[in-house]
Amino acid sequence: MIPASFDYVRPGSLAEACQELAADEDAKVIAGGQSLLPLLRLRLAYPTKLVDVARLPELAGVHDRGDHVFIGAMTTHDEVMRSGVVAAGAPLLALATAMVADPAVRHRGTFGGSLAHADPAGDLPAVVLALEGVLVARSAQGEREIPAADFFVDYLESSLRQGEVLVGVKIPKLGDGWGFHYEKFHRTAQAWAIVGVAAAVRRSNGSIQEARIGLTNMGTTPVRARAAETALEGLELGDGLRQACEEAAADTSPPADLHAQPDYRRHLARVLTHRAVRTAAGAP
């Protein structure tokens, strides 16, 4: 497939990129191109201009900032999964990133790109949601911080405004007692998740004090399984856990597609949440 024709610019600075985007409402940011290029090639999107931000220094690198890890938007998945800073400060993210697509995609695709694309079937939006990350956007008007809970608006739609570029993401470091797991359910190793469950669980004295659960592909945006999170509070590892995780699909509206109908996705969300929480909580 051949995309319709478009202009291409590679600005030398973030300010210039913001100007390019502000000047043309049909311009689009291109990062690693792993999501956008297929859309262009299938002629499902017709941007007038691609603004390539992949080499902007302001968007690069992983930084330890004390209470949080800051990951530049243009950090590739491969860099994220190999970063010592991420492994120490946000291990759930390292774990989930290693399950994104395949090595070729992980060397091209970027962390920020997959969040800005706002695909609920992507693995990382649910992870950032569960970790209560804060997305940092820049425009000619200045910098804005957007909590993950407010970032994902609808299917392939984020709260980024015209002229705004995602600069990076702050992932708060979770303290002692937290355990993590990402449970991805897919048909082949390279396929999208039918359902994914990102779980972060804090235990103390044998019982769960706090659980945060992000669900992949269970709606038009990544969602938190709030009812299950609440039900899990105070539980010890045991049979009660499974019952609490029965709440995992509450208030979700999962899609129907070739790989799964909504009732099956709800079922999977329950089973996988149980597995993710058990593993995160350190169950044998």
Partner 1 sequence: MTEVGKARRRKEDARLLTGRTRWTDNLQQPGMLHVAFLRSPMAHARITGVDVSAARELPGVVAVFAGQDVAGEQGSLPCAWPVSDDIVIPEHPPMAVTEVRYTGEIVACVVATDRFKAADALEAIEVDYEPLPPVIDLETALSPDSPKVHETGNQAFSVKITSGDLDAAFRDAPVVIDRTYVQQRLIGAAMEPRAVLVSTDGDTFTMWTSTQIPHVLRVMLAMVTGVPEHQLRVIAPDVGGGFGTKLQVTAEEVLCLLLCRKLGKPVKWAESRTEGNLAVHQGRGQLQHIRLAADSDGRIRGLQVDLLADMGAYLMLVTPGVPMLGATMFNGIYKMDAYEFACKGVFTTKMPTDAYRGAGRPEATFAIERIMDELAAELRLDPIEVRRRNWIKHEEFPYTTIAGLTYDSGNYEAATDKALQLFGYDKLRAEQADRRDRGDPVQLGIGVSTFTEMCGLAPSRMLGEANYGAGGWEHASVRMLPTGKVEVVTGTSPHGQGHVTSWSQIAADALGVPFEDVTVVHGDTAISHKGMDTYGSRSLVVGGVAVLQACEKVREKARKLAAHLLECSPDDLDFADGAFKVKGTDSQTTIQELALAAFAAHNLPEGAEARLDSDATFDPVNYSFPHGTHLTAVEVDTETGHVKIRSYVAVDDVGKVVNPLIVEGQVHGGIAQGIGQALYEEAVYDAEGNLLTATLADYLLPSAADLPDFVTDRTETPATSNPLGAKGVGEAGTIASTPAVVNAIVDALRPHGVRDVPMPCTPERVWRALEGGRA
List interacting residues with partner 1 (CB under 8 A): 1-2, 4-5, 38, 41-43, 102, 185, 187-192, 194, 258-261, 264, 267-268, 271-272
Least Å from the CB of residue 251 to partner 1: 22
Least Å from the CB of residue 107 to partner 1: 16
Closest to partner 1 by CB, 211 or 260: 260
Least Å from the CB of residue 36 to partner 1: 14
CA atoms within 13 A on the CB side of 166: 33
Closest to partner 1 by CB, 151 or 192: 192
Angle at alpha carbon of residue 146, lines to 83 and 30, rounded to 5°: 65
Closest to partner 1 by CB, 260 or 280: 260
Least Å from the CB of residue 85 to partner 1: 28
Closest to partner 1 by CB, 209 or 279: 279
Least Å from the CB of residue 239 to partner 1: 14
Closest to partner 1 by CB, 68 or 259: 259
